[in-house]
Copies of this chain bind each other. A is one copy, B any other.
Amino acid sequence: MYSFLNDYSEGAHPKIMEALMETNDAQSVGYGMDEYCRLACDAIYKRLGTMAPDVHFLVGGTQTNLTFISHCLKDYQAVIACDDGHINVHETGAVESSGHKILTKEHQYGKVTVEMIEDIMKNHEDEHKVQPKMVYISQTTEWGTYYTLSQLEDIYAYCQENDLYLFMDGARLGSSTVLEDAPSMKQIAQNVDAFYIGGTKMGALFGEALVICNDDLKDGFRYQLKNKGAMLAKGRLLGVQFYTLLENDLYEEIGIYENRMADKLRTALKEKYPLYLPSSTNQIFVDIPNNDLKEIEKEFMVTHMKTLDKTRTRIRMVTSWATDEKQVDRFIELINSI
């Protein structure tokens, strides 16, 4: 059985494992103050064209979201997200448990829109309701879609006018930054208050690089890291991994590869089945007759998203740096034969 369940089914990209092996014996100081973290940080600064932001390395996505969001908000402040936002659905109440309400509206193609934010703002005007203070978006979204540069700019402009922080969850950032109309890392840094460069789903063993662009949000964040149990003792492991991903173009190579694998699958799938939402990144959502699905699942693992009716199911397939192209080809062969 070959798994298309997600992009964290394997260990790490071979170059990362190699770098971890090579640096294994060296001594370094702990907690992210080491030379490898400095190098990784420099690699990020180079891409952003500025050394102004603060960069911190954390272990996982939920951890990054809860640690940063609770760092930014006061007790009575809330974060705006779309109803399908990762923080709203798939983090077991982590943001609320750290004290903050999530205000939601129904997603538009997986995305938050300026209209949504505006609706929420109009409905929260005094101290008897929470005060919206941050907008949370994901690049790419839960549905494999992405914000174009112009969409991001519009949201950021609205946020700036309305005293809202804009925070981008980039767990799968590399699947978008290689697309033409999506913002580059540099453009993202110019259009958010903070974002993170995902590692876990982009070829690392684990790790997310949080980039804090807004000066007001920088102070004390290392305290916050420790306070939330998010400061890794051997911080060097994060430095080594992100340096390997970002010193040259490994991060983009991974993005291009996983998108190419997804495109092959998508092209074949859409000949036979309706795709759900026009995704062009490494996640595919497709509505499949249960009889066909039964055939597929003799050889492949896919995620069931939703029972559409008695005869059809919406499934998700995900590609990654580790996706075996031979398995992709076999999958295509299989569905063409059904």
Hey, which bits of chain A sit against chain B, CB under 8 A? 2-3, 5-6, 8-12, 14, 17, 20-21, 23-31, 59-67, 70-71, 74-78, 89-94, 96-102, 127-131, 200-201, 205-206, 220, 222-234, 236-237, 322
Contact = CB atoms under 8 A, between A and B. Distances in A.
A22 B39 CA distance: 28
Given A67-B229, A74-B224, A229-B66, A93 B89 contact: no
B127 A8 contact: no
Contacts of A76: 92-93, 97, 220, 223-224, 226-227
Main secondary structure of the interface of A (DSSP, over half): loop
Given A20-B11, A234-B205, A62 B93 contact: no
Contacts of A31: 128
19 contacts: A9-B27, A10-B25, A11-B23, A11-B26, A11-B236, A11-B237, A12-B24, A60-B232, A75-B97, A75-B98, A75-B227, A77-B93, A77-B223, A78-B96, A90-B128, A92-B127, A92-B223, A96-B99, A229-B230
A96 B76 CA distance: 9
Given A8-B30, A229-B67, A96 B90 contact: no
Contact of A206 (B75, B96, B234): B234
Contact of A101 (B2, B14, B96): B96
